Amino acid sequence: MTRIAIIAGSTRPGRRTEQVARWVEGVAATHEGDAEYEVVDIADFGLPVLDEPVPAAFGAPYTHEHTRVWSEKIASFDGFVFVTAEYNHSIPGALKNAIDFLYPEWNDKAAGIVSFGPSGGIRAAEHLRGVLSELRVAHVRTHVPLTIFTDFQWENPADPTSAFTIDAPGRLTPLVHTMLGELLAWTGALRPLREQAVAA
């Protein structure tokens, strides 16, 4: 079965990323196709600022246990949905740091992007696409942008720390299904390359 990680890409206290990732997981549970989805929260891995002495692209053995644990988790998936907030026109530093710890574990896989922010997190998504291209990750065309003023329904609109629901009218849910359909198609298409890499 195809395994897809829904990566919650922030570690900030009070973040909204985990709730958005769980929303994506809920939509994915209703998506047709032979796939298993799992939320992977980078906050659970306690990764420090990149501390491996050899760049991951060289394929050298990892020095630290936290890197080995992170590597094993990411290597177990066929594709990814990255859930990212937009911080200062880009992705959170914690997400970029987590990505940079690894290289071959990302290769020849596919990814979709769900972003959020005042303008839907569009600039973060575009920055993330460049990073994924360098990692040989096929990022699908369909992107799900959530605007916090219109797609988050706040319990108290005057209080940004209050509870909220996501996409209550269901306007963006069909877009998630479109993205997942593209993602599963690409993970299947790239499977021979992943199998070839394992055999080598």
Compute the mean pLDDT over every residue in the chain, rounded to the nearest whole number.
95
Express each pLDDT in 83-138 by its tens digit.
Answer: 999 999 999 999 999 999 999 999 999 999 999 999 999 999 999 999 999 999 99
Report CA-CA distances (Å) from 153 to 16, 115, 165, 173, 175.
13, 16, 5, 15, 18
Using the structure block, give the residue that is written with the tokens 């988050």. 152
Contact 80, 108 (CB under 8 A): no
Pairing of strands 152-154, 137-147: unpaired
Where do we find the tokens 């940004």? Answer: 160
Provide the residue type at 171 as one letter.
Answer: R
Asked whether the beta carbons of 152 and 168 are under 8 A apart, the reply is no
Q: Is 2 left (phi over 0), alpha (psi -120 to 50) or beta?
A: beta
Which residue in 197, 194, 199, 185 sits closest to 34, CA to CA? 185
Average pLDDT over residues 157-170: 86
Selected residue with higher pLDDT from 188 and 155: 188
pLDDT of residue 82: 98
Question: Which of 59-63, 140-144, 164-168 is least confident?
Answer: 59-63
* Residue 147 half-sphere exposure toward CB, CA atoms < 13 A: 5
Confidence of residue 39 (pLDDT cuts 50, 70, 90): very high
Per-residue pLDDT, 200? 67
CATH top-level class of 2-199: alpha beta
Query: Dihedrals φ, ψ of 71, to 5°?
Result: -60, -45
> What percent of the chain shows pLDDT beyond 90?
86
pLDDT digits (tens, 9 = 90+) for 48-57: 999 999 999 9
pLDDT at 162 over 90: no
Res 81: pLDDT: 98
